[in-house]
Amino acid sequence: MKDFEDKVALVTGGASGIGAATAKLLARRGARVVLADMNAEKLSVVKAEIEAEGGMATIAVCNVTRDEDIAAAVTTAVETYGKLDYGVNNAGITGPIGPLVDYDLEAARSIVNIDLMAVISCMKEELKVMVPAGCGAIVNTSSIWGLTAGANFVAYTAAKHGVSGATKAAALEVAEQGIRINAIAPGFTYTPMISDQGLSIQKDSEAYKAGAANHPMNRWGEPEDMAQGIAWLLSDAASFTTGTILSIDGGFVA
Ligand code: NAI
């Protein structure tokens, strides 16, 4: 299915996990994709994978905590492909994990900057292009912790609730202008965030089994599960859907 053939998409966090899976799916469906991430090496790998499948992608190395980097990534889309139809604001981190009384507040501020403020900044820059065009769709990556709460995840939970709220508020602002803004709320999803960074949970470990058991469907989400939800929210099939937070979590928050 090539239903995104004339579309241009910007994907932050596009070098890894959910963002990389989303970029690949959008490209397979015909979109030209701007991969935005701070990890230049992994960006090159994803770009090569997309091109090997016959897709089109370009790279914008950026730190989403820098507003000027986000503006430059949007400019890359417009200068390379002539427009911007879709924004997937997905880059994020998890830590610190632990009791609030032991919190490293600087690390907590950093999470709020990356996981929440960058999403607001991305939406602002994307809307600067979409509002004059009178069309566009944005999907932000929230979390189950953007709908419910997790002990030992105070900063992440606060940031992701912020993403859910910002998604709804921004959606209302531009609903009449033909622009839709939604979010996904993933359950535990097996990506490098889980396997390689901070958490270091390996498949077949007790922690992995316990993570699966948290979900009524008794499994982890895969990046492709999230990519499918994001693609649906971006697509014309969701043309009457805005301001919604789509749970993709095997029943976690049901
Ligand atoms: P990941 O670690 O595989 O990918 C995250 C990407 O974001 C990485 O490529 C990283 O380089 C990039 N990134 C981080 N900070 C950045 C910065 N300041 N500037 C530019 N790029 C930056 O992680 P994953 O799992 O794919 O996460 C994607 C999103 O999904 C995040 O927002 C995360 O909070 C959210 N999420 C993940 C869940 C999971 O269980 N993996 C569950 C719920 C939400």
Six token digits for residue 60: 């914008």
- Does residue 2 lie within any of the structural domains? no
Atom from ligand 1 closest to the CA of residue 156: 34
State the distance from the centre of ligand 1 to the C-alpha of 176, rounded, in angstroms.
31
Peptide linkage before 96 cis (omega within 30 of 0): yes
Give residue 139's identity as a one-letter amino acid code. Answer: V
Residue whose Cα lies nearest atom 3 of ligand 1: it is: 17
Q: How many domains does the chain have?
A: 1
Six token digits for residue 220: 């982890």
Give residue 69's identity as a one-letter amino acid code. Answer: D
- Does residue 1 lie within any of the structural domains? no
Enclosing domain of residue 108: 8-248
Six token digits for residue 166: 């910002």
Catalytic member of 81, 86, 156, 190? 156
- Does residue 253 lie within any of the structural domains? no
208 in catalytic set: no
Six token digits for residue 73: 């990534």
ipTM (interface predicted TM): 0.99
- Does residue 111 lie within any of the structural domains? yes
- Does residue 29 lie within any of the structural domains? yes
- Does residue 118 lie within any of the structural domains? yes
* Residues whose CB is less than 8 angstroms from the CB of residue 195 and which lie 6 or more positions away in sequence, other chains included: 201, 202, 203
- Does residue 254 lie within any of the structural domains? no
Chain length of the chain: 254
| Tens-level pLDDT at each residue, the chain (254 residues) | 899 999 999 999 999 999 999 999 999 999 999 999 999 999 999 999 999 999 999 999 999 999 999 999 999 999 999 999 999 999 999 877 899 999 999 999 999 999 999 999 999 999 999 999 999 999 999 999 999 998 999 999 999 999 999 999 999 999 999 999 999 999 999 999 888 866 789 998 999 999 999 999 999 999 999 999 999 999 999 999 999 999 999 999 99
Q: Indicate the pTM of the whole model.
A: 0.98
Residue whose Cα lies nearest atom 33 of ligand 1: it is: 92
- Does residue 3 lie within any of the structural domains? no
CATH of the domain at 149: 3.40.50.720
